[in-house]
Amino acid sequence: MKTSYHFFAFDLGATSGRSLLAKIEDNTITFRELTRFPNKITKVHGQYHWNIFALFEALKDGLKAAVAQGLKIDAIGIDTWGVDFVYLGKDGCILSEPRCYRDPYTDGIPEEYFNVIPKKEVYEATGIQIMNFNSLYQLFAAKKEHSSALEAATGILFMPDALSYLLTGKKVCEYTIASTSQLLNPRTKTFESKLFEAIPLSSSLMQPIVMPGEVIGELTESIMKECGIGPVPVIAVAGHDTGSAVVAVPTDNENFAYLSSGTWSLMGIEVKDPIINEESFALNFTNEGGVNGTTRFLKNITGMWLLEQCRKEWESTGLQYSYEQIVNLSDTAEGFRSLIDPDHESFANPESMTEAIRAYCRRTAQEVPASHAEFIRCIFDSLALKYRKVLESLQQLAPFKIEKLHVIGGGSQNRLLNQSTANSIGIPVVSGPSEATAIGNIMMQAKGIGLVNALCDIRKMVRNSVEPEIFFPEDTLAWTEAYYRFSQILANKYEPLNIKL
């Protein structure tokens, strides 16, 4: 009887990607990274694109590295960020490089679309947070600019589905990734035809929906030959990276909120049914697909994107900081000296993030960060305070009392930010696993081959495999005072800030 299983996970983020080889044995998960590579946005004639074929080559490189380990791989799973997609031609070829969600071609597009179908009607049909880069508005923008790829398209595939298509030749649309598009009805779990007709397009461009844990197909003969691998099934994991990450929350009850911390911070709760009402519409919360019939009710918050862009600027001058150095630098700077709204439109994709932060602070009558430590502290303090604001709104809508916040993903390794978040929100913060997305990917592969089934069993195995750290609230008075000031800044009431931590 087989006692150990090996899984290949391809985890693709908006700034980098990696492949991992995992082993499940004795109800525990272990894994190691095989390859890591940058995922760069390419600017061509003023348009921002992803290089899908470079990503496919990186995927095959990862498979070759896995084969070199001499182990039989039981399954393959792919997760990526949401909303972006490729167009397929009638011969099955990808017609163009996918546009990047940070491309400004969608600026102002939602407002134009709402002239056709009102904003509230769009939200009621989808339950999705209105963000200009949602797939719905990307398609509307592409139609408006007479995209030759869209005009010739006979099909559309979201990013993880496009990569699985290149591996298997099978065209599917995984549910969690489709749910990010604002094209899907979360109640019926089908695409909403009227939203396509308003563009106008046909919903027949979309592929059949498959649920997380379903088998997409086996590797094609050409892939097996090129990578030196046998017939391995490709599983539809939770293709949206946040969907995979939430699978790996090591909780033993339902009274929690999660914060998936990476380039984006996504804060939410897990519920059975979508929450779509006047309040969720007013607060612009989103209902995205989860695994095993769950809904991820959440809000997108700009996360480490702010810091990543600052780091790029500093690296261009020859200064490279490790993650540990960044945290240590932040701890040397005065707290609450400068605060920003991480979700302000000026931080979406500026030419210079440091200058955008300076400009925001000047506009809001605050001290302007000068040193790298001050920029880092400004970002961390602002994120922790924004988390409180979102969590307060989330609690208003949650059908249960939120007792703790699970921070998962790469940002969970930032102990200073974890402690700041606990201080800010006033409830315990449980950090880890930092590799939540990869673990969730692996566990849904395990579900796909019948190794596990129930979500509670999956999370029990995660708890067997990781040791989270708990942070309890401290300095609550200072953080409450800072939150009051932060709220004034967001409400455009600018006054100098003199709180010290």
pLDDT digits (tens, 9 = 90+) for 341-369: 999 999 988 999 999 999 999 999 999 99
Is residue 498's pLDDT more than 70? no
- The dihedrals phi and psi of 460, each to the nearest 5 degrees, come to -65, -40
Specify the higher pLDDT residue, 497 or 183: 183
**Inside any domain, residue 487:** yes
Q: Are residues 90 and 184 in the same domain?
A: yes
Nearest to 165 by CA among 241, 219, 91, 202: 219
Cβ density class 61-75: b for 16+ within 10 Å, e for less = ebbbbbbeeeeebbb
Percent of the chain with pLDDT over 90: 94
Per-residue model confidence (pLDDT) at position 15: 87
Tell the residue number behind the tokens 């099909």, with chain if given.
Answer: 155
Residue 123 CA to residue 143 CA, distance in Å, equals: 21
Which residues does residue 36 pair with via DSSP β-bridges, in sequence order?
A: 18
The average pLDDT across 164-175 equals: 98
Residues 6+ apart with CB under 8 A from 432: 250, 407, 408, 412, 466, 467, 468, 469
Residues 6+ apart with CB under 8 A from 163: 10, 12, 52, 55, 56, 59, 78, 80
**Structural domain ending residue among the three candidates 241, 268, 295:** 241
Q: Are residues 306 and 274 in the same domain?
A: yes
Residue 85 CA to residue 174 CA, distance in Å, equals: 12
74, 103, 241, 381: the catalytic one is 241
CA angle at residue 193 from 444 to 88, to 5 degrees?
A: 65
Q: Are residues 217 and 317 in the same domain?
A: no
**Given the DSSP bridges, would you call strands 209-210 and 264-271 parallel, antiparallel or unpaired?**
unpaired
Which of 300-304, 365-369, 435-439 has the weakest average pLDDT? 300-304
Which residues does residue 42 pair with via DSSP β-bridges, in sequence order?
A: 49
Looking at the structure of the chain, the number of domains it has is 2
**Inside any domain, residue 335:** yes
Q: Are residues 218 and 262 in the same domain?
A: no
Residue 472 CA to residue 422 CA, distance in Å, equals: 6
Residue 369 CA to residue 338 CA, distance in Å, equals: 7
Q: Are residues 359 and 489 in the same domain?
A: yes
Is residue 90's pLDDT more than 60? yes
In single-letter form, the type of residue at position 27 comes to N
**Structural domain ending residue among the three candidates 241, 269, 291:** 241
Helix, strand, coil percent values for the chain (each to nearest 5): 40, 20, 40
Residue 409 CA to residue 172 CA, distance in Å, equals: 27
Is residue 501's pLDDT more than 90? no
**Inside any domain, residue 445:** no
CATH number of the domain bearing residue 38: 3.30.420.40
**168: number of CA atoms within 13 Å, CB side?**
23
DSSP-assigned letter for residue 100? P
231 and 238 Cβ atoms separated by less than 8 Å: no
Would the CA dihedral through 293, 298, 300, 301 be positive or negative? negative
Which tokens is 167 given? 């591996």
237-260: pLDDT as tens digits: 999 999 999 999 999 999 999 999
- Domain that residue 163 falls in: 4-241
Q: Exposed (0-12), middle (13-18) or buried (19+): which is 59, by Cβ within 10 Å?
A: buried
Which residues does residue 9 pair with via DSSP β-bridges, in sequence order?
A: 20, 77
Residue 229 CA to residue 232 CA, distance in Å, equals: 8
Q: Are residues 127 and 219 in the same domain?
A: yes
291 and 498 Cβ atoms separated by less than 8 Å: no
How many other C-beta atoms are found inside a 10 Å radius of the C-beta of residue 435?
26
The average pLDDT across 392-404 equals: 97
119-163: pLDDT as tens digits: 999 999 999 999 999 999 999 999 999 999 999 999 999 999 999
130 and 110 Cβ atoms separated by less than 8 Å: yes
Per-residue model confidence (pLDDT) at position 499: 38
**Inside any domain, residue 450:** no
Residue 78 CA to residue 80 CA, distance in Å, equals: 7
413-427: pLDDT as tens digits: 999 999 999 999 999
Q: Are residues 182 and 291 in the same domain?
A: no
**Inside any domain, residue 443:** no
185 and 235 Cβ atoms separated by less than 8 Å: no
22 and 30 Cβ atoms separated by less than 8 Å: yes
**393: number of CA atoms within 13 Å, CB side?**
19
DSSP-assigned letter for residue 294? -
**197: number of CA atoms within 13 Å, CB side?**
5
**Inside any domain, residue 148:** yes
Per-residue model confidence (pLDDT) at position 423: 98
Residue 333 CA to residue 374 CA, distance in Å, equals: 6
Q: Are residues 275 and 159 in the same domain?
A: no
Residues 6+ apart with CB under 8 A from 39: 12, 13, 14, 15, 16, 17, 50, 55
Which residues does residue 297 pair with via DSSP β-bridges, in sequence order?
A: 269, 287
Per-residue model confidence (pLDDT) at position 14: 87
Q: Are residues 203 and 155 in the same domain?
A: yes
Is residue 196's pLDDT more than 70? yes
Q: What is the side-by-side strand order in the sheet with 295-302? A: 286-289, 295-302, 264-271, 256-261, 404-408, 429-431, 469-471
State pTM to two decimals.
0.90
**Structural domain ending residue among the three candidates 191, 223, 241:** 241
Is residue 495's pLDDT more than 70? no
Judged by DSSP in three states, 157 sits in strand
- Does the active-site annotation cover 475? no
**Inside any domain, residue 451:** no
Q: Are residues 227 and 138 in the same domain?
A: yes
Q: Are residues 107 and 39 in the same domain?
A: yes
**Inside any domain, residue 439:** no
Residues 6+ apart with CB under 8 A from 15: 38, 39, 263, 308
Nearest to 271 by CA among 259, 289, 285: 289
How many other C-beta atoms are found inside a 10 Å radius of the C-beta of residue 476?
14
Q: Are residues 85 and 184 in the same domain?
A: yes
Which residues does residue 236 pair with via DSSP β-bridges, in sequence order?
A: 214
Tell the residue number behind the tokens 């491309």, with chain if given.
Answer: 103
Task: Kindly report whether the peptide bond that precedes residue 200 is cis, defined as omega within 30 degrees of 0.
Answer: yes
